[in-house]
């Protein structure tokens, strides 16, 4: 089975062919997509990830509507080139792969950072976790500097390459700020959502809500465990949200040092304007993490 790739949404790369290894069985199912492994005829013969975006309503799309559906995520993703952002390879329009939109990126065998933290043969020291924290912070700061909101930062959306470098991925619900036609398609994943996103009225993700999610992700990186006391349903009262804020007494000071906690505590402030920016975060990281900053 073959597919043709695009670079961006306009220029077709002729002769670039990818073979879907297991076209009927995804290796990973995300919130709005299925991931299949494949191989591209690039000079290095690299393995690629074929991401088929699910369309939940309506008839199967034709080629034009497929590319239209894929283009917002593709346009956003293609603008981002950074060591801590997953590289974008192109968009597929071959219906032998999927009827739905397909995005192509490198395939990383370690999967997402949650898997990486629990692989038994990988023994992560504090310095390794510092490097992961710094990498995700650098990637998110770069995304924000390009006036883009990620909108769904969580362990499943940070992949680990073969060198152990974290790469932020999945811009399916991201938005470009101050750009007509780009809006967020959702408000994220419940356990990682900032308190303002639980409001009953219409809300939208922001840089500040990304910062909140980043802080919760850091807790997972440092402890190899999901953050405690997080919500499991999408609608909560203000009192509920306050009660679910992480508490210092619940975390081992050897894993989450006081220096880290001082930063994280400011990142999940209840009022969005009181949170640190990612630029501030990079300038405040503990020495162990700061030395890895790009």
Task: Concatenate the DSSP letters of all residues of the chain into one string.
Answer: -EEEEEETTTEEEEEEEEEESSTTS-SEE-SSEEEEEEEE-STT--EEEEEEE---SSSPP-HHHHHHHHHHHHHHHHT---TTBPPP-EEE--TTT-SS-EEEEE--TT-BHHHHHH-TT----HHHHHHHHHHHHHHHHHHHHTTEE----SGGGEEE-TTS-EEE---TT-EETT-TT---S----GGG--GGGG-SS-----HHHHHHHHHHHHHHHHHSSPPTT---SS---HHHHHHTS--GGGS-TTTS-HHHHHHHHHHT-SSGGGSPPHHHHHHHS-HHHHTT--
Task: Calculate the CA dihedral of residues 292, 270, 157, 294 and round it to 10 degrees.
Answer: -20
Is 64 designated active site?
no
- The active-site residue, picked from 152, 161, 170, 252, is 152
Contact call for residues 36 and 30 (beta carbons, < 8 A): no
Catalytic residues: 152
């Amino acid at each position: 089975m073959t597919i043709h790739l695009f670079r961006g949404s306009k220029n077709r790369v002729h002769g670039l062919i990818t073979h879907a290894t297991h076209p009927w069985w995804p290796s990973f199912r995300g919130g709005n997509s299925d991931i299949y492994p494949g191989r591209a005829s690039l000079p290095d013969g690299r393995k690629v990830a074929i991401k088929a975006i699910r369309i939940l309503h309506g008839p199967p799309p034709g080629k034009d509507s497929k590319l239209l559906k894929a283009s917002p995520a593709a346009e956003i993703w293609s603008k981002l080139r950074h060591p801590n952002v997953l590289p974008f390879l192109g968009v597929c329009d071959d219906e032998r792969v999927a009827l739905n939109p397909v995005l192509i990126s490198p395939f990383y065998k370690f999967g997402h950072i949650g898997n990486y933290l629990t692989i038994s043969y990988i023994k992560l020291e504090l310095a390794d976790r510092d490097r992961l924290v710094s990498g995700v912070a650098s990637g998110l700061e770069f995304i924000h500097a390009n006036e883009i909101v990620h909108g769904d930062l969580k362990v499943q959306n940070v992949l680990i390459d073969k060198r152990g470098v974290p790469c932020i991925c999945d811009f399916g619900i991201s938005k470009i700020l101050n750009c007509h036609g780009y809006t967020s398609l959702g408000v994220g994943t419940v356990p990682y959502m900032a308190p303002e996103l639980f409001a009953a009225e219409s809300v939208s993700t922001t840089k500040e809500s990304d910062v909140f999610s980043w802080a919760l992700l850091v807790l997972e990186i440092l402890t190899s465990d999901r953050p405690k006391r997080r919500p499991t349903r999408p609608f909560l009262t203000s009192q509920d949200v306050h009660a679910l804020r992480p508490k210092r007494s619940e975390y081992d000071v050897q894993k989450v040092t006081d220096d880290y906690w001082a930063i994280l505590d400011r990142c999940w402030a209840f009022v969005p304007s009181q949170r640190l920016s990612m630029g501030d975060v990079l300038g405040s990281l503990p020495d162990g993490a700061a030395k890895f900053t790009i």
